[in-house]
Amino acid sequence: MEVTWWGHATVTVADSGVRLLTDPLFTRRLAHLRRRRGELPPPGAARADAVLVSHLHADHLHPASLARLGPGTRVVVPCGAVAAVPGLRRVAAARGLRVTELRPGETVTVRAAHPDADGYGYGYGSGEVTVRAVHAAHDGRRLPYGPHRVPALGYVVHGAATTYFAGDTGLFDTMAEEVGAVDVALLPVGGWGPFLGHGHLDARRAAEAAARLAPVSAVPVHYGTYWPIGLDAVRPHEFHSPGDEFARQAGLLAPRVAVHRLAHGESVRLAAAR
């Protein structure tokens, strides 16, 4: 399987001939945030058999980015998202997107539509993966308002490898139990501002999550891409450092976990070991 980090929480996971895209955010500016690192993902980044949206915050569920998906793409969202976000309804109708709502513990099977198309080289394996939604300790409402009943989710992808995309989450007591054994963990290690509130992982807490989950490999995400306008000139270390700090902390707390710190647009090919 192969992981490509496009920036923030946007990742392509290619496994068993299936392409999954997480929390697509294809914009240079979002409200007061500006993309400060990495070029915008190329058009091919929007090619996916399914998109996994972890929660309703605007930097994770971004209707204008979903509008770049191919017609008929499946979009997996937390239960209640369609009712809570009119922009999601409009884009889904306009693009013919197939929206699937999940609660923690529920699953969906995703099959490759065109595993050999466009020269991407992912036409191998079974052409099918199972995606399981898991709990995330995060306020997943569409801020500044929105129903508390829409949960934030993580996703576990079961294919040739088992991959955990944490979305946004804090540590929670049952994390290892709910997620289960995984080969790869895609863990948020920062954010888009100097202060991370409740329900987030910083580099230290992400390393603790890696220690609890004990994956073969970990890829830090959700840092070093978007930053409030002007603030990167004042506190640049808080923007650039979380990936390196996660690698350092994981070396102390989870030394058997191989950390792959990717540049924007970079890919790593990983093997299942379970």
Distances (CA, A) of 173 to 24, 164, 168, 226, 232: 29, 17, 16, 30, 34
Q: What is the mean pLDDT of the chain?
A: 89
SS3 state at 243: helix
> Is the predicted pLDDT of residue 223 greater than 70, yes or no?
yes
pLDDT of residue 121: 42
When pLDDT is cut at 50, 70 and 90, the band that residue 119 belongs to is very low
pLDDT of residue 180: 97
pLDDT of residue 233: 65
Whole-prediction pTM value?
Answer: 0.92
The answer to whether the Cα torsion of 86, 88, 91, 96 is positive or negative is negative
| Strand pairing class (33-35; 226-228) | antiparallel
> Is the predicted pLDDT of residue 240 greater than 60, yes or no?
yes
How far apart are alpha carbons 77 and 51 in whole angstroms?
8
| Helical residues (DSSP H) of the chain, grouped into ranges | 63-66, 81-84, 86-95, 175-179, 203-213, 236-240, 242-253
User: Residue range 158-163: average pLDDT?
Assistant: 97
Picking from 82, 12, 88, 2, the residue whose alpha carbon sits closest to that of residue 50 is 12
User: Residue range 130-136: average pLDDT?
Assistant: 97
When pLDDT is cut at 50, 70 and 90, the band that residue 194 belongs to is low
Picking from 19, 1, 38, the residue whose alpha carbon sits closest to that of residue 223 is 38
Write out pLDDT tens, residues 18-60: 999 999 999 999 988 899 889 999 999 999 999 999 999 999 9
> Is the predicted pLDDT of residue 143 greater than 70, yes or no?
no
